[in-house]
Structure 1
């Protein structure tokens, strides 16, 4: 059984040069593949390769990816902002003859906001490339860990799905063997209904009576529904052995199961058969709930 769950979570950290980081990936149910990515400022170049990696491993589900990045940069320089300094000196010159005040010293000028700036050293391109490579390798490891987690949960889901299919198969067999489906029971039911029709109208046409009997007999026959339920059970088993994503196909089968159970209930000619049909619907709903998590 090779089902894969759409839900999973992983967190992976790494370090390269003066950078350290943590990748977090969370996946939940979704009809299609929806990737939502949060990257630190200045690392937008990771967007495309990260999406490419994910699209190779995921086919369905909403996926939330977050990268937390810390940079331990000790290489900071202080430089004079020439434009601000020129403006400050020009202002001092324009007002020095207007007021009687002591000229500011160097420390006073440098303390003016904007005159001095802290500037980080430009990062070497080779170092940058090394960090990007390490980030992507770390992300690939995180995806691999997520995939293992989703497969483990998928194995558990497969066992539950198989249990539900066995329940449906057992209930289908009960419906097939239900005494209310016997020829004698159906004949007795038809006689009762025909007798009521005749009593209601003494002049009832015999041809019309025959047609009504055929319709009643056809309505009581659930052989086709039973055969389809058995066939759907086999189809689910076949999908459980498939190595490809089968969530959509399983979801379609769940709808087909429900359609047959509804028809069986509508054709029921006895409360015992109706009870089996309702139990079938309950098991099918439980199956559908589990299938919602399958990729």
Structure 2
């Protein structure tokens, strides 16, 4: 099964010291490009997170954000008096430089980082919990990419069905178009009352038919359609191969258009190019 590169996942876990939450967003990109946003206390997890992404994904721009909301409820709290005295002394020194200093607000002192000390959480336990939660979020992201990939595969198969129908119709019309083109040349010669060597005329008509023959292009289109279906069925990291096949399909549609000798073949070439472009846009999102 193929996978999309577009998905979103969120996982949250509450513990004794607070709540951990991961958000992972991925969009299409030529290569795997991870962007991590981690709190300072969790910076040492970056290597493990990148390794997990490389093992789980092959392409996409992936943004991973970890948040930790610390919970102070139920924890013993005490004031670090040495830090508070240092802070107050520094504030008094600054106040001495002012003409009308405002009084020091005790709540401002308590709000300063490190003044209030609580029970410290075990950094290793928190890190392990964050990695375990990341694995859960990554699994959710991969499941979302798979669901999106299934939808993309259905859309592409619908366009492949339309291409198959279009080429089958054109293949059935080719003999009629060649006969009409032959008759048009004969009628033009008759109108001009030009006497031509029958053998030479027949040679020219054969050359015209050969230049207008699109059987080879139709065969190659059918081959490429079959290969696209095979790649979709095989799954895996198929995006680059599918993109190449879209280029080949477009090449045959262009050649078909250049050989058009009838409004029906011209319209068929246009319809094919529209269908191929619709598939190409969807392929850009496939991993």
Please give the range of the TM-score, normalised by the shorter of the 2 chains: 0.7 to 0.9
1:42 deviates by: 2.4
CA distance in 1, matches of 2:89, 2:151: 72
Over the residues paired in the alignment, what is the CA RMSD in angstroms?
A: 3.6
Specify the alignment match of 1:102 in structure 2: none
Specify the alignment match of 1:101 in structure 2: none
Moved more, 250-259 or 174-183: 174-183
Given the alignment, which residue of 117, 132, 143 partners 1:120?
117
Given the alignment, which residue of 164, 171, 176 partners 1:169?
164
Q: Secondary structure at the match of 2:81?
A: strand
Q: Tell me if the contact between 1:265 and 1:273 (Cα under 8 Å) persists in the aligned partners.
A: yes
**If you compute each CA radius of gyration, which structure gives the higher value, 1 or 2?**
1
Specify the alignment match of 2:98 in structure 1: none
CA distance in 1, matches of 2:37, 2:199: 75
The aligned length equals 271
CA distance in 2, matches of 1:210, 1:273: 24
1:54 matched to 2:53: yes
Question: 1:239–1:212: structure 2 CA closer, same or farther, 3 Å change rule?
Answer: same
1:1-295 equivalences under 5 Å are 2-73=1-72, 74=75, 75-81=77-83, 118=115, 120=117, 123=120, 127-179=122-174, 183-191=178-186, 195=189, 215-295=207-287
Deviations 1:102-135 (A, max 9, x none): xxxxxx99x8x98x971536846xx211110110
For structure 2, the residue ranges without an aligned partner over 5 or more in a row are 92-102
Q: Secondary structure at the match of 1:69?
A: strand
Moved more, 224-233 or 41-50: 41-50
1:77 deviates by: 3.5
Deviations 1:123-171 (A, max 9, x none): 46xx211110110000000110111111112112211111110100100
CA distance in 2, matches of 1:256, 1:216: 26
Moved more, 129-138 or 210-219: 210-219
For structure 1, the residue ranges without an aligned partner over 5 or more in a row are 89-107
Question: 1:86–1:34: structure 2 CA closer, same or farther, 3 Å change rule?
Answer: closer
Q: TM-score, normalised by structure 2?
A: 0.80
CA distance in 1, matches of 2:131, 2:274: 46
1:227 deviates by: 0.5
CA distance in 2, matches of 1:6, 1:23: 18
Specify the alignment match of 1:95 in structure 2: none
Q: Secondary structure at the match of 1:42?
A: helix
Q: Tell me if the contact between 1:258 and 1:284 (Cα under 8 Å) persists in the aligned partners.
A: yes
1:72 deviates by: 2.6
CA distance in 1, matches of 2:201, 2:169: 32
1:26 deviates by: 1.0
1:54 deviates by: 1.2
1:217 deviates by: 2.9
Deviations 1:65-91 (A, max 9, x none): 111111235444323258789999xxx
Deviations 1:22-62 (A, max 9, x none): 11111112222111111112221111111111111111111
